[in-house]
Structure 1
Amino acid sequence: MSKNSKIPAFTLNEMLAVIAITGIIITLSFSILRLVQTHFHSLNRLYSVDGEINRFEVDLLSTMNSADRVFVNQDLNEIWFKNSLNESKLLLGDLIQIHDLDTFNLKINSINPYFLGEEVIYGELDALEIILSEPKGKTLFVAKRNTATSFMNVE
């Protein structure tokens, strides 16, 4: 009894087609994965820079509003924050340093201090505009309310 029965199976051509399609799908998925990783790393860098800027702005605003008087000396690249309890300074250079503790790695393009709406180079200030180099043209503006001591002994 010779029975000529076929075993149901896939042909070689069908198997090669499946392997080719699987290879194409795997290649595309690795390409997309690489694009997503590159995009994620660029977003991570952007958020770290924005986070540094936000931390600096919050710290500067807090320090400026806790001070009774704020003085600038652009020749020495210093801004002094003074109140009845203590005084601290902001050093401006390659790195920005507040209170001798916090250091911010921000590149500054220009600093414009103001007192009563007028730009000052030396003396008291009540507003500060900082233009950063990176990210391009990002401007920070912080201001404080003037106390009565700001108007005493003013000529």
Structure 2
Amino acid sequence: MPTIQKKIPSFTLSEMLVVLLLTVIVVGLAFSVLALVNKQMSDMEGNYEKRTENNVLRQAMCIDFNSNGEIEYSLAWNKLVLRNEMDSTVYLFRDKLIIRAGDTIKTDLKILRVLNKGVQVSGGPVDAIELGSPVDSSQTFFVFKRNAAIDFIN
């Protein structure tokens, strides 16, 4: 009796290797793109965090400047002291951080100018301060207090 051989339709070994090679290339490209997107997201998160820290500092300084009547800056100690009748707040400016009443704000902002009645001073009573980043000029901000009429009489 003759045996009947029925051929099963399938792929050859070379066809399977080509498909496997194309799959490896596509998956490799997908992981490369994923790594690039992940790096971009990480950079964006870092920039957002830095800007948020700087905005929190700017808001705190605006509130402190306008709620304290007496503001003094010491260049020797790199310290800003804000006082009113009830309380005082101290800002210490250190390398890559600013300490405010127990809060440590990591930032690269530096004091650019300290002003009193529109004149730049190196220390003593102040009514305005400009902070900025030596690296990024878009992160510069200016904080001032509204002077009362009594400040101009003396």
- What's the counterpart of residue 56 of structure 1? 57
Query: What is the RMSD computed on CA atoms of the aligned residues?
Result: 2.2
1:57-94 Cα deviation digits (max 9, x unpaired): 12111211211232222233222212221122212222
Matched residue pairs, number?
151
Specify the alignment match of 1:87 in structure 2.
88
- CA 1:58/1:118 → structure 2, altered by over 3 Å: closer, same or farther? same
Q: Is the 8 A contact 2:73 2:124 kept in 1?
A: yes
| Corresponding residue for residue 136 of structure 1 | 136
Q: Is the 8 A contact 2:111 2:129 kept in 1?
A: no
Q: Alignment partner of 2:77: what SS?
A: coil
Question: Which runs of no fewer than 5 residues in structure 2 stay unpaired?
Answer: none
- Give me the whole-angstrom Cα distance separating, in 2, the residues matched to 1:52 and 1:120: 27
Between the aligned residues of both structures, percent identity stands at 30
What is the CA–CA distance in structure 1 between the aligned matches of 2:150 and 2:80, rounded to whole Å? 18
What runs of 5+ residues in structure 1 fail to find an aligned partner?
A: none
Using the size of structure 2 for normalisation, the TM-score is 0.82
Name the TM-score, length of structure 1 as normaliser.
0.82
**Is structure 2 residue 11 aligned with structure 1 residue 14?**
no
Establish whether residue 102 from structure 1 lines up as the match of residue 112 from structure 2: no
One-letter identity of the residue aligned with 1:64 = F
1:111, distance to aligned residue in structure 2 (A): 3.0
User: Which stretch has the larger CA shift, 14-23 or 72-81?
Assistant: 72-81
